[in-house]
Chains A and B, each alone.
Chain A
């Protein structure tokens, strides 16, 4: 794996006994000796650390930077105040996604743009081409700053300890603070990709990455790999570029509004003015709203949508498997595996665990939550149901599995 890139934490992962794999050109931990299931459950019950330094970290600088970002992103950058972050998509002219990303305005006004690891070069080429028409510049700071996600019910407590009690108790989602963590510069963002109600993504200078990782481990956090990161985001129904965005199993581009989360990432306000793909996205939004109201004539604009799916028969569903309504193939599973969960007694988490075969699928837009479908699992048709969501996470500090009733 000598041609692979390594993050600032490579040695730390290897020393911890991680299984390293090639992930989009990066040599990354897929799991630690405890295994994906244990890492998933530890995130939901205590706190896990994820090395997300493979993701691209870009600074957008120059007088025209706001106008530039308004043009190349779907979100409204004028609404992004200092100390806030927003989810956004890099659209193409046809309303498809080049990537999804997070844009942070740091408290000093710097604009930090974080993109998917495997798309960093593609994104940079696209953005730099357009930036030539604007007075602005994109600086890749991925090698200078490391990124660690700290996710789970105990994350607030650990980060507060490192900040010397300076973490606001009521810190809201999508806030990014400039802080000192035991004397070291850090950007602490209340964001994440696990569905945890409490969780942070922390940016520190490269030389402090191992220090932060080890300090959090001493406090009680445990490392988790890309395997658990994937099962956690899947349980939270968060899209992954290349699965729920990009091109479908037939190689056709997927419209941005196929993903319900797009509603929060795309903005048509007047301050935003024109942007790439705007006309196509306006049509998609209109269709999205009509579909939500049960007007299926909008299926001509958005034929398929991303939905949560739970297998009711025994088995596991995987990306690429065909989904059927009766004898009609209506789409594919885009992500799927078996994930563990904690059994709850009312609002109290018990120590009992179970597992369930869940996924996300890209299927006919007129299928509604509660509808029954089947999935072709290696030649066998297994029963599944479309669900509104797999995880309830509006009740901090704990996220709770949403189980289907006949289970």
Chain B
């Protein structure tokens, strides 16, 4: 699956789509492949604060748990609760299935563009 050029990426394999002051956040195709079948997601609530570089939730595959790290800081203004019943949507459509939307304020982690992110995945093998 091609890495979409219009998105920004973290080294922990989240993507962010930045439109004005709002960031929509999900996980990359590389992440969903590495995790395998996703069976559970712990989501934050609307109104919670997201902090760049810190966990806002976690994701469980059959094999293991992994934290979801926020690429940006701000107030969580939307949560994709459909994932609670169907976390496998993140496997099926990683760049279509978003997890949270954040109204940004303050710091943003340094984010990678698609080419830099592909290079990172290549390196990690």
Indicate if the CB atoms of B39 and A355 lie closer than 8 Å: yes
A31 touches B36 (CB 8 A): yes
How far does the alpha carbon of A30 sit from the alpha carbon of B63 in the complex, in Å?
A: 10
A262-B96 Cα distance, complex, nearest whole Å:
50
Taking A338-B60, A338-B62 as contacts, is the C-beta distance between A35 and B39 under 8 angstroms? no
- Per the CB 8 Å criterion, the residue count for chain A at the interface is 19
Chain A: interface secondary structure?
mixed
Q: Is the CB of A314 within 8 A of B40?
A: yes
B37 and A37 contact, CB distance less than 8 A:
yes
Chain B residues lying within 8 Å of A339, measured Cβ to Cβ, are 62
A236-B65 Cα distance, complex, nearest whole Å: 23
Residues of chain A with a CB closer than 8 A to B63's CB: 30, 36, 227, 337
Chain B: minimal CB distance from A204 (Å): 30
- Within B8-63, which residues are at the interface with A (CB < 8 Å)? 36-37, 39-40, 42, 58, 60, 62-63
How far is it, in angstroms, between the C-alpha of A337 and the C-alpha of B35 when the chains are bound? Answer: 14
A227 and B62 CA atoms in complex are apart in Å by 8
Chain B interface residue count, CB cutoff 8 Å, equals 13
Q: Which residues of B contact A355 (CB under 8 A)?
A: 39
Task: Give, as a whole number of angstroms, the nearest-CB distance from A27 to chain B.
Answer: 15
Within 8 Å of chain A (Cβ to Cβ): is B115?
A: no
The interface residues of chain B lying within 8 Å CB-to-CB of A37 are: 37, 39, 62, 88
Contact, CB under 8 Å: B84 / A35: no
Q: Please pick, from A231, A314, A337, the residue contacting B84 in the complex, using a CB distance under 8 A.
A: A314
Q: Which residues of B contact A318 (CB under 8 A)?
A: 65
1/0 per residue A306-319: CB within 8 Å of B? 00000000111010
**Does B40 lie within 8 Å of A231, measured CB to CB?**
no
Establish whether residues A227 and B36, one from each chain, have CB atoms under 8 Å apart when the complex forms.
yes
Q: Is the CB of A35 within 8 A of B40?
A: no
Q: Smallest Cβ distance from B59 to chain A, in angstroms?
A: 10
Please give, as numbers and ranges, the residues of chain A lying within 8 Å of B84 by CB-CB distance. Answer: 314
Is B65 within 8 A of A36, CB to CB?
no
For window 353-382 of chain A, which residues contact chain B by CB distance below 8 Å?
355, 357, 378
Evaluate contact between A35 and B37: CB separation under 8 angstroms: yes
A316 and B36 contact, CB distance less than 8 A: no
Q: When chains A and B are docked, how far (Å) is the Cα of A227 from the Cα of B42?
A: 22
A316 and B37 within 8 A (CB): no
Q: Is the CB of B40 within 8 A of A338?
A: yes
Q: Are A231 and B65 interface neighbours, CB within 8 A? A: no
Q: Which of B39, B42, B58 contacts A338 (CB 8 A)?
A: B39
Per the bound structure, the CA–CA distance linking A239 and B84 in Å amounts to: 30
Considering the chains assembled together, what is the distance between the CA atoms of A37 and B63 in angstroms?
A: 11
Shortest Cβ distance from A38 into chain B, in angstroms? 8
Inter-chain contacts of A30 with B (CB < 8 A) = 63
Q: Could you tell me which B residues sit within 8 Å of A by CB distance? A: 36-37, 39-40, 42, 58, 60, 62-63, 65, 84, 88, 91
Seed contacts A227-B62, A378-B58; 11 additional CB < 8 Å A-B pairs: A19-B36, A35-B37, A36-B37, A37-B37, A37-B88, A38-B37, A231-B62, A316-B40, A316-B65, A337-B62, A357-B40
Q: Which 5 A-B pairs have the closest CB atoms?
A: A338-B39, A37-B37, A36-B62, A35-B37, A316-B60
Task: Please name 17 pairs of A and B residues whose Cβ atoms are closer than 8 Å in the assembled complex, sorted by A.
Answer: A30-B63, A35-B37, A36-B37, A36-B62, A37-B39, A37-B62, A227-B36, A227-B62, A314-B40, A315-B40, A315-B42, A316-B60, A316-B65, A337-B63, A338-B39, A338-B60, A338-B62
